[in-house]
Amino acid sequence: MLKIVLLGAPGSGKGTQSAKLVEEYGVPQISTGDLLRTAVAEQTELGLKAKAAMDAGELVSDDIVVGMMRERLNQPDTENGFILDGFPRSEAQAETLDELLTELDRPLQCVVHLKVDNEELVSRLMARGRADDNEETIRNRLAVYQEQTQPLVAYYEQRGLLKPVAGVGTVDEIYARIKDALADV
């Protein structure tokens, strides 16, 4: 049983560490990006609404994202746990997630926050070599992330759920720190 949120900036290693947690604990990793892509591809009602927003260059609304998350968390493979990646992104989404998990009787156990300083993140993201990843774009993405996430960090800290983990070192060193953070969960 593992019911956690994995929080971290772009380039912090969430995807890599999520994969290791999925392998060890046998619970699904749930990413809002994957949910959106699947819903759009399958042309579900929420997917069509999301596509309309994206085609208009708008952010997909909380209602749509939360609706997709509700559908996904109602699936049987999440009964024994889940790893949420990229959700929640705001305090409002965190509050809605709390309500949803209370309704499902699956309260969140903790929020693992992978902490990596900006210079290291810029370096990692530049090394990925994605076409849209120039230094200015990366710094803007990180600034937006910091702005959105600070209230979220405070929200989970106040609830005693936040587990900060240093996200530097080898993949295995970071994973060992995550396991230490999860030891008392």
Just list the catalytic residues.
14, 89, 128, 130, 141
**Packing angle, helices 118-128 and 135-158, rounded to 10:** 130
Query: Residue 33: which of 22, 25, 41 has the closest Cα?
Result: 41
Angle at alpha carbon of residue 140, lines to 136 and 146, rounded to 5°: 145
Structure-token match 């989970």, residue found? 156
Angle at alpha carbon of residue 13, lines to 8 and 14, rounded to 5°: 55
